[in-house]
Structure 1
């Protein structure tokens, strides 16, 4: 389980595809602190198990399902990914409960400045219609965000400057695909 509060932005070193899925190698620093083989790390919202560690990052195995139904299947060397270690028992819950089970992939439709913050409209996959509530929470690429508005085929979230600076959203663009997880 995770909180949706991103600890760092990592960089994909490589995605090695195999007939059985793939191995994703990610450069990271902060999330390595205290991490052991077998631990879970959310990578842009998808819960992955650490199967390899080195001084500059970690390796996780990806099932075919993960590569087919998240944006991780599109990862390229140099791609930025949001990283968060799993929530320790008794840990502080500052965002909302995020399972790391991506429910669908949406597409950024509009990015608009709104005072000091940003409003972002994202397409709503059919499987998530009825699961997203106004003023509720949603994880977008693993980031806990508040839903401002829900339409039939899209929803809008608000992003404060801190979140913009500290996550992959700092490089968001219209047409970009993002992992989505509805609130539990």
Structure 2
């Protein structure tokens, strides 16, 4: 589990590409203080397992499913990435619950400055936007952000200077692809409220029952 509070920006040192997978070598400093092989690290919001470590960084395998679901396949040597170690149980919960399991990608369609902040508008598929709510939380490339507005086609966030300076979001421009993870709570609530129609629980609550009783 992560919080969406980026600890540092790393840099891709090398990429070894397989037929449908990759091995990333990522340069880092701050997160190496207690990083062990087998630990989880969020890389641009994607939960990866450290498979090796040295004094200047770590390596991680990226499987086929992850490449299909995220923007990690577009990384190249020299690309900067957001890094966050798994949340410590004795730490402060500064962001929101982030699993590191990307729901899909979005595309930045516009950026604009608003005094000291920068607005980012992100276009995403309806299947993702259904879980994005105004004043709710969303993770963009591993960064915990608050949704300012949402429409049927996109959503917008307002980013403070500090966030733009210490993450790769400050480098993003219109047309760039970003990893998105929506609020995990909304997905579980929907799943629990919509049992499979062919096996409804005896006496359970259904959408028809709620409608008949004024909900």
The alignment's TM-score, normalised by the length of structure 1, stands at 0.97
* Runs ≥4 residues deviating over 2 A: none
Matching of residue 44 in structure 1 with residue 44 in structure 2: yes
The 2-side partners of 1:173 and 1:60 are apart by: 27
Q: Which runs of 5+ in 2 are unaligned?
A: 185-215
Asked if residue 19 in structure 1 is aligned to residue 19 in structure 2, the reply is: yes
Asked which structure has the greater CA Rg, the reply is 2
Structure 2 residue 82 is matched with structure 1 residue 87: no
Instruction: Provide the C-alpha distance between the structure 1 equivalents of 2:53 and 2:126, rounded to a whole number of angstroms.
Output: 38
The structure showing larger relative contact order (alpha-carbon pairs under 8 Å, at least 6 residues apart) is 1
The structure where strand makes up a greater share of residues is: 1
Normalised by the length of structure 2, the TM-score is: 0.84
Structure-2 residue corresponding to 1:10:
10
Q: What's the counterpart of residue 108 of structure 1?
A: 108
Q: Deviations over 1:48-68 (max 9, x none)?
A: 000010111000011111112
Per-residue deviation at 1:19?
Answer: 2.9
CA distance in 1, matches of 2:48, 2:99: 11
Aligned counterpart, 1:58: 58
The alpha carbon displacement at 1:69 in A equals 1.4
Match in the other structure for 2:145: 145
CA contact (8 A) 2:6 2:167 kept: yes
Cα pair 1:26 1:57 within 8 Å, conserved? yes
The number of aligned residues is 184
* Alpha-carbon separation, structure 2, partners of 1:17 and 1:137: 33
What is the CA–CA distance in structure 1 between the aligned matches of 2:178 and 2:157, rounded to whole Å?
Answer: 13
Calculate the aligned-residue CA RMSD, in Å.
Answer: 0.9
| Partner-residue secondary structure (3-state), 2:34 | coil
Question: Residue deviations 1:105-157, cap 9 Å, x none?
Answer: 00000001112111110002232021000000100000001100001010001
8 Å contact from structure 2 (residues 126, 152) kept in 1? no
User: Contact (CA 8 Å) 1:104, 1:127: kept in 2 or not?
Assistant: no
- 8 A Cα contact 1:124 1:154, kept in partner: yes
Kept after mapping to 2: 8 A contact 1:40/1:49: yes
Q: Name the structure with the higher helix share.
A: 2
Q: Provide the residue aligned with 1:127 in structure 2.
A: 127
Structure 2 counterpart SS, 1:180 = strand
